[in-house]
Structure formats: C-alpha cells, structure tokens
Amino acid sequence: MFDILIKNAELITNDESKPLITCGYIGIKDGRIAFISDSLPENAEAREVIDGRNKIAMPGLVNAHSHSAMTLMRNYADDMALEKWLFDNIFPVEAKLTDKDVHWGTMLGISEMLKSGITAFADMYMFMDEVARAVTETGIKANLCKSPVQFFEDGQLKRLDKSQGTIDYYNSYHNSADGRIKVFVEIHSVYMFNENTLRNAAQLAKQLNTGIHIHLLETVAEVESSNKDYGMTSIEICRETGVLDVPVMAAHCVHLTDSDLRIMQEKKASVVHNPTSNLKLGSGIARVPDMMDMGINVCLGTDGAASNNNLNMFEEMNLAAILHKGIAMNPQLMKAQDVLKMGTVNGARAIGFDDTGVLSEGMKADIILVDTDKPHFYPKNDPMAMIVYSAQAADVDTVIVDGSILMKNREFTHIDEEKIKFEVESLSKRLLGR
C-alpha cells in the first residue's frame, strides 16, 4: 500500500540509467520513492492517487542561495547604483526589521517558492530562529546558516566572534524538522570578515562537521578590496584560512581568475550561480561554462527578492541556459539537461541533502508535477527543453516534499496564503514608510 501513487506522468528523473520515462508511475511510502517504473506494479494500491496525464513529474527545484525575508523589500528600490540601493534603501529598512517581520517575510518567500516548484532552499539572513520556525511549519526543506561574527553592537561596526551562538543554533536545528533542516556556518563574505574570523569560522565548521555558506567575488569592488586587504584574491584567502577545507557553497563567484577556478575545482567547492541578480545589480557574468568544463558543481539561486525581484527558479534555469550561449556566441553550451541538473540535484548536493534531487527508489520523495496542457508547451517534444525553455513557475501544479503534498492544483494544503499576504502588506507600511 503506497501513501501516494503518481500515474501516467512523463518523468524527468536525473537518473543516468533512465533519464526520461514517457509514461511513468511513482509509488511513495514513508516519505521516500518506493517504486518507479514505466509500468504499474501489480495490485498497486494507494491512499491517494495523482493523475499525471498531461503532466511532467520531476525532482523539486533547489534554490541554493536566497535571503527569503528580503521579499519584504521587493520592487521597493530598483534601477539604481549598487551603493544607493544598499546604503540608502536596503540597509535602513533592514535596521528596522524585527523577528516578527522576518517571520512573515520568510513565510511569504516560502509560499512563493513552493508555488514555483522549489522544494528546498538555502537561506542566509538575520533572526534565523524565525527562519527555522517558518521552515518547520511549512514543510519545505532548507539549509540555514548562522554567522559566528556579529558586525554591529551598540550601533558600532565591530567584529565580535560569538561562536557559541552558532554552536547553539546548530545544535537546535541541524537535522531538525524530521531532517528537513541542515545548518551550515555563515561567512557573509571575505570583506565583512578578517583573517582571524575567517580562520575561526572555518575551524568552527570543521568542529561541527558541517559546511559553509558564503558570498564570494560578487563584484569588482570585492576583487579590489580583497587585493588591498589581504594581498590576494578572496578565493586565495579562503584557501589560506581553511574555509575551503569543508563543504562550501559559494554564492555568485562572478569574478574568478583561472587560478581561482582551479582552487575551487581542487577543493570541490560548489558554486551558486545567480544570473538574474548578477545582471540586475550590474555585477557581471560568472564564467559558468568554464566551471562546468572543470567539473565544478554549479547550482542555481535566486538571491533575495530585493535584487531579482522574485524567487522563480524557472527564470533562473532559462536565463542560465541562454545567457552563456549568447555571451560566448555558442548555442551548444549549457544544454537543457545540464541546466536541469543545476536547478535540482546539483543544488541538493551543495546544500547538504544527498538523498534527494533524483527520482529513483530509496530517494526522498521531493517531487513536483508541471501541468503541460497549455498552449506554450505544444506540440510536445523534448520534455527537458519544455521545462528549461518554455515553462513558467505558474505551470507547477503539485508539490510534494518528503512524501507530503504541500500544494495540489496550485492550492496550498495547509499554508494560509491569505493571512501571509495580509500580514506582509500590513507590516510593510511601517517598514517602507508608505
């Protein structure tokens, strides 16, 4: 007896042995994929049957770099220079944020992500207890991180190493929510840390046997400051201080030298490519095809909604697939099947979930169904191209995480979307001074 049986869906599996199944069946039991095949098992019974006709079932999308609660600053400050955006608009609002604000901003972000087919995300922000609470309540998966360095105290910029807070956070939440939460150590960036705090953070991650989430070489300004402050590139100082000796998910990585790329390859660091945010903020274009040639694990992220302005991995996959073709003037780069992996299994590996991202027996049942019975999918040819080049987030019909149906026919099963929208609209009046 399965808990859920998906029938007659077209399957994209990420399983090398059978990447596509034209008409497939998935049986789910105890949160995992118990059965997957192109034919129905005999005497198949299930508590709930999902009709997969005219749908593609595939691994849930993984948003490997975000600041979910920044949804609160969506469409609030656009088309301006980075400094003006950050110092005159974003920082003043962030200074006002309370734990309650971060709770509702995160709930909004999670709602949007689930509606867009995202089953797991990595988050870096403040009031991270609230983020853990929102993840626990909603049923999504997340990699959360906590910084051992506090930058401000009594309104002054200070670098205070408070590792105990990170240790407590790790002990409270790592593998909590039935294993749906992983905790990494946050290193905001090389320019907000110094050699000492970088070294301590790396040591802490090693001690906790976990990974590090870091912003790395997003802007030309970081290239310059790193050379000035450390006399080496940001990647080199990370190597020197041991940061790259644990699993690292490095967001952005826009401005890497050949030598930096070789270090990332050697250290098996994961790169989170954020193409929309990098373009919109004018940061530049990461050398993703080079990274892929070198076998670096590249995954995708939306970054925060203040610089995107949505949390839509279909847009990131589409953009990743076409952008680098255009830049290199080579349409053979960034094939749909590779970009799909960037948006799913590569992200799952980067953020610390090894038992998802592939539809095969024994894996966690993190599955989305995409409704393809719409004009923009016809005629139905290559299903991988359909997802990467034709789909939009609103085509996601059903979302399953750890075998629980969180959205069905685009309706949440237990998230109160109306309340979230109401709360966010209310608190944004205070925050944004409207």
Contact assessment for residue 155 and residue 179, using Cβ atoms and an 8 Å cutoff: no
Two tokens, residue 346? 């590569």
Q: Strand pairing partners for 182?
A: 143
Question: Hey, which residues between 222 and 281 contact a second copy (CB under 8 A)?
Answer: 276, 278-281
Instruction: Pick the closer one to a second copy by CB: 197 or 318.
Output: 318
We find the least distance from the C-beta atom of residue 377 to a second copy, in angstroms, to be: 8
Count residues contacting a second copy (CB under 8 A)? 76
Largest Cα–Cα distance in the chain?
69
Give the chain's end-to-end CA distance (angstroms, integer).
54
Question: Contact between 284 and a second copy (CB under 8 A)?
Answer: yes
* Backbone region of residue 76 per phi and psi (left: phi > 0; alpha: psi in -120 to 50; beta: other values): alpha
Instruction: Pick the closer one to a second copy by CB: 232 or 322.
Output: 322
Instruction: Pick the closer one to a second copy by CB: 23 or 263.
Output: 23
* Backbone region of residue 71 per phi and psi (left: phi > 0; alpha: psi in -120 to 50; beta: other values): alpha
Question: Contact between 346 and a second copy (CB under 8 A)?
Answer: no
> Using only C-alpha atoms, what is the Rg of the chain?
21
Whether residue 218 is annotated as binding a ligand: the answer is: yes
Whether residue 324 is annotated as binding a ligand: the answer is: no
Instruction: Pick the closer one to a second copy by CB: 208 or 427.
Output: 427
Residue 277 and residue 176: Cα distance in Å, rounded? 31
For a second copy, which residue of 196, 209, 330, 413 counts as binding (CB under 8 A)? 330
Q: How many CB atoms lie within 10 A of CB 24?
A: 23
Question: Hey, which residues between 349 and 378 contact a second copy (CB under 8 A)?
Answer: 373-378
Question: Hey, which residues between 172 and 231 contact a second copy (CB under 8 A)?
Answer: 220
Question: Contact between 13 and a second copy (CB under 8 A)?
Answer: no
Two tokens, residue 24? 């497939």
Question: Contact between 91 and a second copy (CB under 8 A)?
Answer: no
Residue 273 and residue 236: Cα distance in Å, rounded? 20
Residue 14 has phi, psi (to 5 degrees) of: 65, 10
For a second copy, which residue of 49, 381, 416, 419 counts as binding (CB under 8 A)? 381
Question: Contact between 310 and a second copy (CB under 8 A)?
Answer: yes
For a second copy, which residue of 9, 288, 386, 401 counts as binding (CB under 8 A)? 386
Question: Contact between 335 and a second copy (CB under 8 A)?
Answer: yes
* Backbone region of residue 8 per phi and psi (left: phi > 0; alpha: psi in -120 to 50; beta: other values): left
For a second copy, which residue of 71, 119, 203, 226 counts as binding (CB under 8 A)? 71
Question: Contact between 382 and a second copy (CB under 8 A)?
Answer: yes
Instruction: Pick the closer one to a second copy by CB: 38 or 425.
Output: 425
Taking alpha carbons only, the member of 97, 152, 41, 138 closest to residue 306 is 97
We find the least distance from the C-beta atom of residue 61 to a second copy, in angstroms, to be: 14
Whether residue 215 is annotated as binding a ligand: the answer is: yes
Question: Contact between 74 and a second copy (CB under 8 A)?
Answer: yes
CA 117, 59, 4, 142 torsion: positive or negative?
Answer: negative
What is the x/- site pattern for a second copy, positions 114-133, by CB under 8 A?
Answer: -xx-----------------
Q: Strand pairing partners for 250?
A: 214, 271
CA 424, 127, 147, 90 torsion: positive or negative?
Answer: positive
Contact region with a second copy (CB under 8 A), list: 152-160, 222-230, 242-250, 416-424: 416-424
Two tokens, residue 410? 């685009």
SS3 (DSSP) at 346? helix
Instruction: Pick the closer one to a second copy by CB: 205 or 306.
Output: 306
Contact region with a second copy (CB under 8 A), list: 14-22, 78-86, 156-164, 397-405: 78-86
The DSSP secondary-structure symbol of 60 reads: P
Residue 222 one-letter amino acid: E
Contact region with a second copy (CB under 8 A), list: 105-113, 151-159, 202-210, 398-406: 105-113
Q: Which residues are annotated as a binding site?
A: 65, 67, 94, 188, 215, 218, 303
